[in-house]
Structure 1
Amino acid sequence: MAARSRSKTGKAKRSLRRPARNPILSPTSPEAQREALADRLAQETAAAFQAVLHPQDGPADHPVKGLHDAVREAYDVCTAMLDELQLDPPLACKRGCIHCCYNQVALTEPEALFLGLHLLGTRSPERLRELADKAQALADRLKGKSWQEIGMLRHELPCLFLEDGGCSIYPARPLACRGWNSVDEKMCLLSNLSGDALTPIENHPIVREIADGIQSGLLRGSSELGLEAGYLLMARATALLLTGDPEQGVMDTTAEWLDGKPFFGRKARW
């Protein structure tokens, strides 16, 4: 990965600092190996993201398509790595299991914009307007609540995209969903039935850290290009994207973010 990137003014920008390693961990410990893997994935994802959006031979011809392709590539890397894992015990996650869909997940700007483009390609204008109202209603319910408070309400708040007993945006689901995993479905069910978001759920750290590393790379790549980089609840991001004319809103927001303007930071009614 290049140590520096160029801003629109042509001035060199320093790369984000790597996360500090835990000096207590042995270099050969499972924790240290996972940390090293996540850091490598973050670097490689950031480099790939920047290469697509700001190719060395000049500005991208179709920056919106470039963004879509860059995030798609990051998701494909995540899927390929998770498919190669041989986990013991195996994951309990399977089609039709929706216990973890009672969570309000956070996603990054590139993921949110990729989701918006996916929605444009899979939903009619009428369905987009219905989704906009649904997203705003959920965002209103979450207004003013901390992450902990939202977590304790998780059993009351199904995901915005949980439809007909399944994920309606599965190909475009964010990395937080891709890394969420469990080896015991009963633990997930108990968490929802008890209303206690702190119910222990046994999982595989490697799955989560692969997804986290790639997500960190999207943030790092965005920041090093001078673009707004942060997290927002998916319901709020969707409400922002679909404000006004949903189709125009998605395209305008994507183009403006790629031009260095804020997406999550712009003023909007919650």
Structure 2
Amino acid sequence: MADQDSNGSGPLSFFKAQHRAFAETLKTRQGTGGLIDGLLLQAWDSFEHNIAIQAEGQPPLACHKGCATCCTLRVTATAPEVLMIGRYVRWSDGRFKSIGIDLPARIADADAKTHGLDEAQRVALRLRCPYIENGICLIYQVRPLACRGHASYDVHACVKAAAGRAGEIPYSGPHRVVRGLVQNAMQSSLRDAGLAFGLYELNHAVCIAIQNENCYAEWLSGADVFAPAAITDVGIDEMARIYDAIQAS
């Protein structure tokens, strides 16, 4: 993807194509019950399809089922992702409780311990993600793009880093790039539709989604319902300027 924009097949062209596709989904599904599902199924499918292309010829990933080594990191998510996960947690609550897992309580407990911590503080705390049970992600089907796009070629490097020992982790560049392009294209289209388009700390935002059953309707009305969980590493105004510059290019 890197150097091919002159012939319409590089990252800039990919971003614009993704933006148009998300905009069309928003146009056709807004006001229906399938908006969140449509946006995220589109995002996940685009991510998986393009990763298969971009990762061709790369080393095999070390990530595998049962490995939760990196699941102590701060996770960010967009509003559609938070709404989807909040809905999934509510729907699966009875099933999880039948096997002794109170997931809403886990999320609230994790949030109480991590709310307000920055990335470095979160890593230093080494608190396991509340969605992990015996190394398995309980929300794997609806996990955020941030998780889908975080992949490593060396599990031993991940283990050392998780234990606080210095070292470089050989992350998959294609996963990070494609994840960023898809996610930002969706955010840009949300902004154009007058919807809150920022990034949120996952646990705190999901707590809000679980507690407020009207958050989907409020978000659709243009309210930033997850503002208390907002990640401000990059400000909303700066993000908006970047999106404007991309669309004008």
Give TM-score scaled by structure 2 length.
Answer: 0.79
Q: Is 1:73 the counterpart of 2:37 in the alignment?
A: no
Amino acid at match of 1:187: A
Aligned to 1:16: none
Aligned to 1:105: 75
| Larger Rg over CA atoms | 1
Q: CA RMSD in A?
A: 2.6
Q: What number of residue pairs does the alignment pair up?
A: 223
Q: 2:120 aligns with which of 118, 143, 148?
A: 148
Structure 1, gaps ≥5 residues long:
1-29, 244-248
Deviations 1:117-168 (A, max 9, x none): 33344332884x9333222221121233222222332xx2111211122111
Question: Residue 83 of structure 1: CA displacement?
Answer: 2.9
Aligned to 2:196: 228
Q: Call closer, same or farther: CA 1:66–1:143 in 2, change over 3 Å.
A: closer
Of stretches 162-171 and 77-86 in structure 1, the one that deviates more from structure 2 is: 77-86
Q: Is 1:46 the counterpart of 2:19 in the alignment?
A: yes
Aligned to 1:12: none
| Distance (Å, rounded) in 2 between the aligned partners of 1:180 and 1:126 | 26
Amino acid at match of 1:47: R
Q: Call closer, same or farther: CA 1:192–1:86 in 2, change over 3 Å.
A: same
Conserved 8 A contact 2:66-2:136: yes
Q: 1:182 aligns with which of 152, 155, 159?
A: 152
Structure 2, gaps ≥5 residues long:
230-249
Q: Is 1:95 the counterpart of 2:95 in the alignment?
A: no
Aligned to 2:183: 215
Give TM-score scaled by structure 1 length.
Answer: 0.73
Question: Residue 238 of structure 1: CA displacement?
Answer: 1.2
Amino acid at match of 1:214: V
Conserved 8 A contact 1:42-1:218: no
Aligned to 2:102: 130
Aligned to 2:111: 139
Q: Call closer, same or farther: CA 1:120–1:143 in 2, change over 3 Å.
A: closer
Aligned to 1:258: 220
Question: Residue 38 of structure 1: CA displacement?
Answer: 3.9
Question: Residue 105 of structure 1: CA displacement?
Answer: 0.9
| Distance (Å, rounded) in 1 between the aligned partners of 2:190 and 2:109 | 29
What percentage of residue pairs aligned between the two structures are identical? 25
Conserved 8 A contact 2:22-2:186: yes
Q: 2:129 aligns with which of 159, 182, 201?
A: 159
Amino acid at match of 1:237: A
| Distance (Å, rounded) in 2 between the aligned partners of 1:82 and 1:203 | 14
Amino acid at match of 1:75: W
